[in-house]
Amino acid sequence: MYNSFEMVTAAALADKIKAYNPAVDAESIQRAEDFAKKMHEGQTRSSGEPYYTHPMEVASILADLKLDQGSIVTAILHDTLEDTAATNDDLEKNFGKEVAILVNGVSKLTKIESQTVEGKQAENFRKLVLAMSEDIRVLLVKLADRLHNMRTLEHVKPEKRRRIARETLEIYAPLAERIGVHRIKEELEDLAFSSLNPEARESITNRLDFLRSEGSNLVSEIIGQLTKVSKEAGIEAEITGREKTRYSIWKKMQRKNISFEQLSDIMAFRIVVKDIAECYHMLGIIHSKYPTVPGRFKDFISTPKPNGYRSIHTTVIGPDNNRIEIQIRTSDMHEEADLGVAAHWAYKQDSLAATLKDAKKYRWLRELLDIIEQDQKPEDFLENTKLELFQDQVYVFTPKGDLIELPSGSTPVDFAYAIHSNVGDKTVASKINGRIAPLNTKLQNGDQVEVTTTKNGTPSPTWERFVVTGKAKSHIRRYVRAQQRIEYISLGKALLQKTFRTEGYEFTEKAVAGVVQQLEMEELDDVYAGIGSGNLTARAVFLTIFPGHIETEYKKDVLSEAELGNMGPAKRASGKEPPMPIVGLVPGMAVHYARCCHPLPGDRIVGIVTTGKGITIHTNDCETLEQFADTPERWIDVSWGEGKDTPESHVGRLLVTINNKPGALGTLSTVIAKSAGNITNLKITNRTIDFWDMLIDVYVTDIKHLNNVIAALRATNAVVSVERARGR
């Protein structure tokens, strides 16, 4: 039953804080208690105590950790936002912005506790809690809150008691270990152990009691001998012995599948010395005095644990042939091992500089080093402590409470594909925390996400712009490629049918099917897709079907795109070698026009000697020329001659974006034709709901002619943008 004499009061709390922080504002602590009493009035705990006694106990636990005043006030108020009518504005008005932010952070963690978390999700949940605890004090308050709840767990119904104990063992005890607060970690484990497996705990307790009675003087004897050894070496050391916790003993029995009697290192002895040099000196003395147990030596001073823990561990055959574990550390290391990250809150201004190097081991405290160096108040040391852990990840819940881990920046579409590829493909809408949200909304830690699917839903090509997971990107791209192929097949078939009609032939698929193997394709649709994508020309396919139809005026179209790109303009026109329209070349030298820049008469050009191929002509601003910067001997000074070149014998490449509307492609080809240009190749590079991006090769006479084509296209409503393509 509730006993008022055991209740923590603001006055008692202030006195406890004064022991390590004489500058404590007792009046602020009292105001926080009064506010909590008022807000929680009428509320009781399962034990029958007034509810406000719980936050006061939580605050007392944090005072034992020597935390700052802001943390203590936050602990007193930590349930006001969640369980009372108090608002964030009320807290900020009465206790300042810092406390309001901290209380809000604790409330967020409390909300996600209601989610169902199975054992397999425990690690993700721990990461979520860390990621949401932007200020490390939020997590410390939450751990203290959980500790007091565990201390009073006997008042909770058995079923709920086991659930809370399991959650504590899987989530909160490991969290306490991760930030190095071993004092809280060990108590949480023991309390959870007593609820989950009371028989095993009682059995281990009885066996430990028996060992104590049998060897009541054993611990003191070992301590006496170790003390004697240290004094003989001139080392002043504080030596203590303690039993391993009941839960750690149980875990070891389970892990190694051994009985209690087979355990040989139930006792652990701790040697605390002045500095690191003495740690290693003492280690040498111990190892020279007693035989070591192979494989039982660990140096966490030279290589600290991720949570900053430092100590030397060794196991030896000690006095009276007892196998004992010995831990050697400094007093600072001992305090950090006990309090972990919280140990740094106890440092005062005068000692901050000395502990600067130690603080560096805590990655979440690195941002505070400037404050330490500037010798500011301990309260400033704590402000806006940001955890760096798991900032590249986001953890969200399904409607059923399953926890999903995603990369930072993920959206509901990424979430849907993480559930199942079929869910992602058919997603049409999403809800975040019960409210409808756009599919490109970036998810936050702790969000509950729900997606709506339809039977006929399909991925949108625009999703690729905002999704971040590889699975989502690959499925969307696969769908887009499939849709593009359908478009290419339709376009290619239409182009080939048009060529048949132009030449006076009746189109039949049987005729096309007859040359599928000759064109090195696998099926008929591959031929159509090749034409539609620009990898084949309709005329080339037509002439493959009717090889006897070749005429001079269409000679250039019979050649493949590769042949066109690597052949001089005169060769294209007649197949012979007329006088070249380029000045500066050796007569008879083979000429190729670079496909990276497509030089045209009127461009300033340069020649590059290519072994075995002759001369390749580039525009003088072509980016590819950078590759030849270290070989000036390969450069040839050339220019366009004045002799008339064959009309339509040069390829100009355009990068065009058009509106994805009916007739847009037809308008595009009409404008080019009216400008006396001739499309020789068209390739769609990107297709969305609204726009098509494409590369178009156009036969033109010179750069002036190409510029006229560009100007005509820019004046067309169907065309969004057009520019000369470079490096494509």
Over the stretch 118-168, which tens digit does the pLDDT of each residue have? 544 565 666 566 656 667 788 888 899 999 999 999 888 888 888 889 888
Per-domain residue ranges of the chain: 4-196, 202-343, 347-382, 393-468, 553-643, 650-724
Exposed, middle or buried, 370 (CB in 10 Å: 0-12/13-18/19+)?
exposed
**What's residue 370's pLDDT?**
35
**What's residue 379's pLDDT?**
40
Residue 109 or 28, more confident: 28
Catalytic residue among 15, 49, 57, 82: 82
**What's residue 277's pLDDT?**
92
Q: Read off the pLDDT of residues 191-223 as tens digits, 9 standing for 90 and up.
A: 999 998 888 888 888 877 777 676 556 777 888
503 is catalytic: no
83 is catalytic: yes
Cα separation, 579 vs 637, whole angstroms: 18
**CATH number attached to the domain at 650-724:** 3.30.70.260
SS3 93: helix
Mean per-residue pLDDT over the chain, rounded:
77
The mean per-residue pLDDT over the stretch 293-320 comes to 82
**What's residue 354's pLDDT?**
35
Q: What is the DSSP pairing of strand 635-636 with strand 650-659?
A: unpaired
Of the candidates 458, 454, 523, 526, which has an alpha carbon nearest to the alpha carbon of residue 488? Answer: 526
Residue 637 has pLDDT above 90, yes or no: no
Rounded to the nearest 10 degrees, what angle do helices 53-64 and 26-39 cross at?
A: 150
Q: What is the DSSP string of 175-223?
A: HHHHTT-HHHHHHHHHHHHHHH-HHHHHHHHHHHHHHHHHTTTHHHHHH
Residue 354 or 728, more confident: 728
Q: What's phi and psi for 451, nearest 5 deg?
A: -115, 145
**What's residue 503's pLDDT?**
81
The mean per-residue pLDDT over the stretch 631-653 comes to 70
Q: Read off the pLDDT of residues 687-697 as tens digits, 9 standing for 90 and up.
A: 877 788 888 98
**What's residue 673's pLDDT?**
87
**What's residue 307's pLDDT?**
61
Which listed CATH number (3.60.20.10, 1.10.3210.10, 1.10.490.10, 3.40.50.1000) goes with 4-196?
1.10.3210.10
Cα separation, 564 vs 577, whole angstroms: 15
**What's residue 653's pLDDT?**
87
Cα separation, 313 vs 482, whole angstroms: 61
Please give the radius of gyration of the chain, using alpha carbons only, rounded to the nearest integer. 39
Percent of the chain surpassing pLDDT 90: 13
Q: Which of 109-118, 339-348, 379-388, 481-490 has the highest mean pLDDT?
A: 481-490
The mean per-residue pLDDT over the stretch 100-110 comes to 84
Q: Read off the pLDDT of residues 496-515 as tens digits, 9 standing for 90 and up.
A: 888 888 888 888 888 888 88
By residue count, the chain amounts to 728
Cα separation, 267 vs 96, whole angstroms: 48
**What's residue 33's pLDDT?**
92
Residue 654 has pLDDT above 80, yes or no: yes
Residue 33 or 615, more confident: 33
Going by CATH, does the domain composed of 393-468 fall within 1.10.150.120? no
**What's residue 121's pLDDT?**
59
Q: Read off the pLDDT of residues 63-73 as tens digits, 9 standing for 90 and up.
A: 888 888 888 99
Q: Which of 375-379, 458-462, 581-585, 682-686 bottoms out in mean pLDDT, i.e. has the lowest? A: 375-379
Residue 588 has pLDDT above 70, yes or no: no
**What's residue 205's pLDDT?**
82
Cα separation, 129 vs 2, whole angstroms: 32
Cα separation, 119 vs 170, whole angstroms: 7
**What's residue 330's pLDDT?**
92
Q: Which of 6-15, 139-148, 644-653 has the highest mean pLDDT?
A: 139-148
Residue 554 has pLDDT above 60, yes or no: no
**What's residue 174's pLDDT?**
79
Residue 244 has pLDDT above 70, yes or no: yes
**243 DSSP β-pair partners:** 267
Cα separation, 598 vs 582, whole angstroms: 15
Catalytic residue among 15, 27, 68, 83: 83
Q: In what order do the strands lie in the sheet with 678-687?
A: 678-687, 691-700, 650-659, 719-724
The mean per-residue pLDDT over the stretch 628-649 comes to 68
CA dihedral 212, 214, 216, 221 (to 10 degrees): -110
Domains 4-196 and 202-343 belong to one CATH topology? no
| Superfamily per CATH, domain 202-343 | Beta Polymerase, domain 2 (3.30.460.10)
Burial 50-88 (b: 16+ CB within 10 A, else e): bbbbbbbbbbbbbbebbbbbbbbbbbbbbbbbeebebee
The mean per-residue pLDDT over the stretch 664-683 comes to 86
